């Protein structure tokens, strides 16, 4: 393989690596305790308005809610239709990301500066727990990763992985 081909292959691999990998964060509001909280209810504030896939796909929305319900049940919380000890909501959005890199490539007879451009859809899921009156955020978690609009099955698997990772640090119930 010529040096220019090696460099091109290495740079393409670096670009793919730079935009891959799920980023996950969560944050418990300082001073908040989930002791004594045992139930939750849902609200759809900001419901999927920023993400066409969820806004036009009620099946995916139900699967997302069910996955969060499963995670909360595993931590000892019970879902109620109204007046839970806290309220859960989610918001999704996606945006086009573009990354470009310029590299100096030198061969024996040629010097050039190729530009490599990579673009992808970056999706973000935010899950929040708030006080029932909506005045105070108790906990928030979010995940962000590249989406593949042409592969809904892959995106659903990715969504479930994101929910599992987001909810990993959600406090277990302290009991009622």
Model confidence pLDDT, tens digit, residues 34-76: 888 999 999 875 544 455 455 566 787 888 899 999 999 999 9
More confident residue, 149 or 176: 149
| Mean of pLDDT over the chain | 74
Domain extents in the chain: 22-97+119-167
**For residue 155, what pLDDT is reported?**
72
Q: Which CATH class is domain 22-97+119-167?
A: alpha beta
More confident residue, 116 or 42: 42
Take residue 16 and report the two structure tokens written for it.
Answer: 């793919």
Take residue 166 and report the two structure tokens written for it.
Answer: 């987001």
Asked if 141 and 124 touch (Cβ cutoff 8 Å), the reply is no
Take residue 8 and report the two structure tokens written for it.
Answer: 């091109």
**For residue 20, what pLDDT is reported?**
54
Which pLDDT tens digit goes with each residue over 98-113? 676 766 666 666 656 6
SS (H, E, C) 94-136: EEEEEEEEECCEECCCCEECCEEEEEEEEEEEEEEEECCCCCC
**For residue 165, what pLDDT is reported?**
92
More confident residue, 77 or 135: 77
């Amino acid at each position: 393989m010529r040096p220019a081909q090696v460099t091109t292959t290495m740079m393409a691999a670096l670009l793919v690596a730079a935009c891959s990998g799920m980023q996950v964060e969560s944050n418990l509001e300082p001073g908040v305790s989930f002791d004594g909280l045992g139930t939750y209810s849902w609200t759809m504030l900001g419901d999927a308005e920023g993400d066409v896939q969820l806004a036009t796909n009620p099946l995916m929305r139900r699967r997302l809610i069910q996955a969060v319900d499963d995670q909360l049940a595993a931590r000892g919380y019970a879902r109620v239709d109204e007046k839970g000890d806290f309220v859960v909501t989610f918001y999704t959005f996606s945006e086009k990301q573009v990354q470009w890199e310029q590299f100096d490539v030198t061969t024996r007879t040629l010097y050039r500066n190729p530009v490599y451009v990579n673009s992808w859809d970056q999706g973000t899921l935010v899950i929040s727990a708030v006080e029932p009156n909506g005045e105070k955020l108790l906990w928030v978690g979010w995940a962000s990763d590249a989406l593949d609009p042409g592969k809904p099955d892959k995106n659903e698997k990715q969504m479930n992985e994101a929910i599992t990772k987001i909810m990993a640090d959600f406090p277990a119930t302290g009991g009622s």
